Chain A
Amino acid sequence: MTVKVFHAELGTAIATGLLGLAGVFGALELGRGWTESGPEAGYFPFYVGLILLGASLWNLIAAFLKHREAAGIEAEEPFLDRDRARRLGIFIAALLAFVIVTLTMGIYVGSILYITWSAWRQGGYRLPVALGVGAGFALSLYLIFEAIFKIPLLKGPIEPLLGIY
């Protein structure tokens, strides 16, 4: 599967346009008018939302025009070819898994698992080595943040069992 630049441009322009639209509607709920004490809370967001919507429409049309100009002359530049999409897909999936594990088990477990998995499965290191790298990283996080700077990091259900709060 190949995603073309054209598709990515369209998707982005539509997404930013929707954001602008959300701003406009949110601002309308607050009131965009004028009161005794000055502009209402929705005044500024309303016009910013409109500008965002307008600029997004412009980009949408520009993408269409460029697409039409390029059609027939040369093959369009791909945004993501199969190889890149696969690499990116794996990385994003791992990223998502890391965030979910971190939210449920805390940042230490999350980063140990994530770094170990990456070094072991992607980097081709032996499992004990990979685990050592992950654990070493988590330990240095603990030392830097909790021990030196006294900033508590996100913890899960395991850390209290080890006596770390």
Chain B
Amino acid sequence: MANFDLLMHGFGIAITPMHLMLMVGGVLMGLIVGVLPGLGAPNGVSLLIPLTFALDPTSAIILLSSMYWGALFGGSTTSILFNIPGEPSSVATTFDGYPMARSGQSTRALTLAFMSAGFGALLGVIVITLLAGWASQFALKFGAPEYFAVYFLAFAAFIGMGSAAPMKTMVSLAAGLLLASVGMDSVTGSIRLTFGFEDLLGGISFLVVVIGLFGIGELLSTVQEGLRFRGVASKIDLRDVLKTIAELPRYWATYIRSGLIGIWMGITPGGPTAASFMSYGIARSSSRKGAAFGTGRPEGIVAPETADHSAGSCAMLPMLALGVPSSATAAVMMGGLMIWGLTPGPMLFATQPDFVWGLIASMYVSNLIGVVLVLATVPMFAALLRIPFTIIGPMIVAICFVGAYTVSNATFDLWVVLVFGLVGYLFSRLDYPLAPLVLAMVLGHKAENAFHQSMVLSDGSLSIFFANPLVSSIMVLGIALLVLPKLVAFGSRFRRQVPVE
């Protein structure tokens, strides 16, 4: 019950007028970036990080994580009302959410989505609360080889479990690692891969890269489609909200199944996007009666939303306990932690209990605030999408460049944003995943240091990664995650000659 006491202590930290205000502000800002195309959770959080330098780390992480929840809610709103996923992880919500809204039940669809999202997040936070102490105790046993093995596991999971072609994920990962090694090497002190450019001496900031990849890149995708929003009316009727809440218990099986999928995908680095698709797929294949999926089935909204949010909140656990984020947004937040001078990992629980438990407690509160706020403000935020793109588009561009400049006051970063904007557009058009690149940029130094130290320990022999049961089992799990999913897919394709559907 030590966790419970710590959690109560955390509530004492999280529930202060200042922090409640930050949560409301964060959720509202998150809703804005979630609704607007071109601004999503990862780059919204990147844009906000320079503004948090003035806050203490606990307040800063509460603000950033609240923004993340807000962005997840905002992404579902546009999926349902406009058939435009505001976030990659809410793509699966469009399949049944938009048809239901089109048939005049937009309040029902939104309520289903928000309540499922809130329930998923709650499940996720409960899991974090229960596992946090144990995970950090476990991680205290880790030395350099174990850390490298965990990074390997994270990278392997992206390659094996991601929906993209494995070699494309590999390109994205390796490019991120290479970009992370530009500039001063912290171990040997030598200057690397700058090719004589002085602007590269300090390295390439991952925050600036995220703003380019996700911000400008997504805008370019929006522009090429020639933006035309066909929105559904978005009035919220309180009676419909209550009626929908009353029907929720009927979907208990979907809730539990989706929650478990989300928790699994959040803790292993599958990420919310993969979780929501997987959950939708499983809900569809396990339903036997009723209207077809894709026509506005309530389960088709419940399943992806629950999984999306439980994965999103569970992604915070490996980030805090091991320093391995399992989603792009968690990676950016972890970068923020390091900028504030905190080291993510098991020691964080011992040295900064106020920070860790304040954050965990704030996740309960801010998700509650999120559900209420989003229901209250949906019509207002949906109106944002009615602003013509010729006005809102350039504004988003300007905000992205301003944000990139404030990271380190370097004009060179403006070019970095532009270049990575084009890269982001190209990559997303050609199905190269972007999250591994961000993850690799954030983890690059730590992975290399862990590798370096292990090599020094073992005098250059790779056998150190199989030297004891702990490190070997992590490595074997990593290799299994790398190879098995594709083998299974290959096998089932081989067996199943007749295509389904």
Contacts and interface: CB of A to CB of B under 8 A. Distances in A.
Contacts of A149: 51, 54
Contacts, number: 164
Given A52-B175, A153-B405, A37 B395 contact: no
Interface stretch (B65-73, B83-91, B164-172): B164-172
A60 B448 CA distance: 28
B401 A12 contact: no
A79 interface: yes
B188 interface: yes
B390 interface: yes
The majority secondary structure among interface residues of chain A is: helix
B174 A52 contact: yes
Interface residues of B, number: 57
Nearest to A112: B398
Nearest to B227: A87
A64 B430 CA distance: 15
Contact of A153 (B167, B390, B402): B402
B139 interface: no
Nearest to A90: B223
B18 interface: no
Nearest to B52: A149
Contact of A99 (B168, B175, B401): B401
A34 to B, nearest CB: 6
Interface in A73-117: 79-80, 83-84, 87-88, 91-92, 94-96, 98-99, 102-103, 107, 110-111, 114-115
A147 interface: no
B177 interface: yes
A51 interface: yes
Given A38-B456, A118-B391, A45 B181 contact: yes
Contacts of B177: 44, 48
Given A52-B175, A153-B402, A119 B418 contact: no
Interface in A106-165: 107, 110-111, 114-115, 118-119, 122-125, 133, 137, 141, 145, 149-154
Given A30-B192, A37-B456, A119-B390, A19 B178 contact: yes
Contacts of B178: 19-20, 23, 45, 48-49, 52
The majority secondary structure among interface residues of chain B is: helix
A8 interface: yes
Contacts of B214: none
A79 B429 contact: yes
A42 to B, nearest CB: 7
Given A115-B391, A119-B390, A107 B51 contact: no
Given A22-B195, A115-B391, A98 B170 contact: no
A125 to B, nearest CB: 8
A52 B436 CA distance: 13
A118 B393 contact: yes
Contact of A44 (B181, B393, B394): B181
A153 B451 CA distance: 39
B398 A111 contact: yes
A87 B226 contact: yes
Given A55-B174, A62-B165, A149-B54, A39 B452 contact: yes
A34 B460 CA distance: 8
Interface in B189-213: 190, 192-193, 195
Interface in B135-181: 165, 167-168, 170-171, 174-175, 177-178, 181
B200 to A, nearest CB: 11
Interface in B390-434: 390-391, 393-395, 397-398, 401-402, 405-406, 409, 411, 414-415, 418, 421-422, 426-427, 429-430, 432
Contacts of B398: 98, 107, 110-111, 114-115, 137, 141
Contacts of A80: 224
B461 to A, nearest CB: 11
Given A12-B432, A153-B405, A55 B170 contact: yes
Contacts of B190: 30, 41
Contacts of B411: 103, 154
A62 B192 contact: no
Contact of A123 (B50, B175, B388): B388
B419 to A, nearest CB: 11
24 contacts: A8-B426, A20-B178, A22-B193, A26-B195, A30-B190, A30-B192, A38-B455, A40-B188, A44-B448, A52-B175, A52-B178, A55-B170, A87-B223, A91-B219, A91-B223, A98-B397, A98-B401, A118-B390, A122-B390, A137-B395, A149-B51, A149-B54, A152-B409, A153-B406
Given A99-B414, A122-B390, 5 more contacts: A37-B456, A48-B181, A55-B167, A80-B224, A153-B402
Interface of B: 50-51, 54, 165, 167-168, 170-171, 174-175, 177-178, 181, 185, 187-188, 190, 192-193, 195, 216, 219-220, 223-226, 388, 390-391, 393-395, 397-398, 401-402, 405-406, 409, 411, 414-415, 418, 421-422, 426-427, 429-430, 432, 448, 451-452, 455-456, 460
